[in-house]
Structure 1
Amino acid sequence: MKKGLLIAVMSIVALIATTSCARKVTRIDTNEQIDISGRWNDTDARLSAEALSAQIVTGDWITDYVQQTGKKPVVIVGLVRNKSHEHIDAEVFTKEVEKALVKYQKARVVQGGEMREELRAEKADQQTNASVSTMKKFGLETGADFILQGTINSVVDALKKQKVVYYQVDLELTNIETNEKVWFGDKKIKKYIKN
């Protein structure tokens, strides 16, 4: 009898333990701000993307270039270096800047980095495996007029259970031919964290 009672009690305890630790996932609006850790998160990336996109598409550099050349500028996105104390994926907001340039028809954007290398590999493969009438030729890529580069920096001030983290995302656009910096944009974010 004691053994049967012990098994029943252990079964109930196991059932309570498994149901009380169950994970619950709730879908939320992607624009809802939720800060759990105080570290860089999706809200910070979104705010940076919105601010930097608005700054670059309204910059005088576009008007100046069009007046000088009669053409839309061609932009390539270079490196955005993370110099902060955290892991931050800059591509989250640089893609938004690229989309804004294309969406508002302010500039032409050419592929860069690893994706450009993938395109070139496909072009090389076509030289052997595609018909002559459909093969894409080397040497016909659109050259960029400007390169977008930048940095992400952070400063942490902490004492006991309080911390202030300051982030600054700086982007700059440089004329590839002349090395002249023609546009600067930034987004600053400051967080107070109390444990």
Structure 2
Amino acid sequence: MKTFLKSLLAAIAVLTMTACASNSVQRVDGGEQPQLTDRWNASDSQSVAEALIPDMLSFPWAKPGADGELPVIAIQHISNRSHEQIPVETFINSIKRELLRSGKAEFVVTGAERERIRDEKMDQEMFASMDSAVEMGEETAATFALSGVITSLVDQLEGKRTTTYQVDLKLIDLRSNREVWNGQKQIHKYSERARFGL
């Protein structure tokens, strides 16, 4: 009985010291995201964009038109069907940034953002001077639509877990409805639960 009480008191002491320990916070370089879990993070968004965009731009669609105009892309929909909440907007921004930096394509806004821009133009028609107001009906039309899906597969056994994220993207020519590019990138992560022992 005394041995049990000593073991119990020792366990309580260890837990108390652990609970009272102060947290340590370090600032890290923006390009070095520490891996604390096997969850999707900003580095994953960037690595997928860096892998898929060069492949996308290697296909024939990514050539300027006869008039020198660059292809114009609208992001249709990139859905998250993985097992966790992934900030899809962060991923979309990584894709846009890589494409714009390439200098080989441009984007037009879609959805709610496009409606806000149109509302601004309508306000200008009513309240701005005629020589400074941006006219309605002068928008650039998209020539290509980008869409895709993020999925995941989790396999776990006895505290060990592998997580595979898969990103599938496709690009459609809006004039012909032809699929002119299709790309896929997988990210594999392995995690092992630490065993707590006294």
Superposed pair shares fold, TM > 0.5: yes
Task: Name the residue aligned to 1:4.
Answer: none
Q: Which amino acid aligns with 1:24?
A: S
Task: Name the residue aligned to 1:29.
Answer: 29
Q: Which amino acid aligns with 1:140?
A: E
Quote the Cα distance in structure 2 between the aligned partners of 1:24 and 1:110: 43
Could you tell me how far 1:156 is from its partner in structure 2?
A: 1.0
> Does the aligned pair in 2 maintain the 1:57–1:100 contact within 8 Å?
no
TM-score (norm 2): 0.80
Structure 1: tracts of 5 or more residues without a match: 1-16
TM-score (norm 1): 0.81
Q: Which amino acid aligns with 2:135?
A: K
* Structure 1 stretches of 4+ moved >3 Å: 20-24, 66-71
Quote the Cα distance in structure 1 between the aligned partners of 2:142 and 2:96: 13
Quote the Cα distance in structure 2 between the aligned partners of 1:99 and 1:47: 12
Match of 1:148, SS state, is: strand
Quote the Cα distance in structure 2 between the aligned partners of 1:67 and 1:118: 30
Deviations 1:2-56 (A, max 9, x none): xxxxxxxxxxxxxxx9xx5544321111222422121111221221121122222
1:88-167 superposed matches below 5 A? 88-167=86-165
1:74-93 superposed matches below 5 A? 74-93=72-91
Q: Which amino acid aligns with 1:131?
A: S
> Does the aligned pair in 2 maintain the 1:53–1:96 contact within 8 Å?
no
Q: Which amino acid aligns with 2:28?
A: I
Match of 1:187, SS state, is: strand
How many residues of Structure 1 are paired with residues of Structure 2 in the alignment? 177
Match of 2:156, SS state, is: strand
Match of 1:78, SS state, is: strand
Quote the Cα distance in structure 2 between the aligned partners of 1:57 and 1:79: 20
Comparing 124-133 and 90-99, the one that deviates more:
90-99
Quote the Cα distance in structure 2 between the aligned partners of 1:189 and 1:24: 29
Deviations 1:147-180 (A, max 9, x none): 1110001011112311111110111110112211
Quote the Cα distance in structure 2 between the aligned partners of 1:23 and 1:115: 40
> How much is the aligned-residue C-alpha RMSD, in angstroms?
2.2
Quote the Cα distance in structure 2 between the aligned partners of 1:60 and 1:178: 15
1:6-25 superposed matches below 5 A? 20-25=20-25
> Does the aligned pair in 2 maintain the 1:75–1:109 contact within 8 Å?
yes
Task: Name the residue aligned to 1:9.
Answer: none
Match of 2:55, SS state, is: helix
Could you tell me how far 1:70 is from its partner in structure 2?
A: 5.3
Quote the Cα distance in structure 2 between the aligned partners of 1:26 and 1:85: 29
**Residue 68 and residue 126 in structure 1: after superposition, are their counterparts in 2 closer, same or farther (change >3 A)?**
closer
Quote the Cα distance in structure 2 between the aligned partners of 1:118 and 1:23: 43
Task: Name the residue aligned to 1:12.
Answer: none
Structure 2: tracts of 5 or more residues without a match: 1-16, 194-198
Task: Name the residue aligned to 1:62.
Answer: 62
Q: Which amino acid aligns with 1:179?
A: N
**Residue 71 and residue 161 in structure 1: after superposition, are their counterparts in 2 closer, same or farther (change >3 A)?**
same
Quote the Cα distance in structure 1 between the aligned partners of 2:102 and 2:46: 18
